[in-house]
């Protein structure tokens, strides 16, 4: 396990095929370095088929 990585247990994951479990673990290891906190956010409003973002 990579240092600082959070392990997540999903309901039913233990019943998934081993190949799928291994793939999910590998994806987690490959993406664990990606910063997903303290991201800048913007107000969003949906109007009909349009999405308005205040930047």
Spans of all domains in the chain: 13-53
pTM of the model: 0.47
In the prediction, which pLDDT does 39 show?
A: 82
pLDDT at 52: 96
- Mean pLDDT across 36-52: 91
- Average predicted confidence (pLDDT) for the chain: 84
What the block records as the tokens of 50 is 């349009």
- 45 contacts: CB under 8 Å, gap ≥ 6: 51, 52, 54
């Amino acid at each position: 396990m990579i240092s600082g990585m959070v392990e997540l247990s999903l309901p039913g994951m233990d019943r998934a095929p081993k190949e799928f479990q291994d793939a999910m673990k590998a994806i987690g290891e490959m993406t664990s370095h990606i910063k997903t906190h303290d991201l800048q956010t913007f107000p969003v409003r949906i109007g009909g088929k349009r999405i308005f973002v205040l930047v």
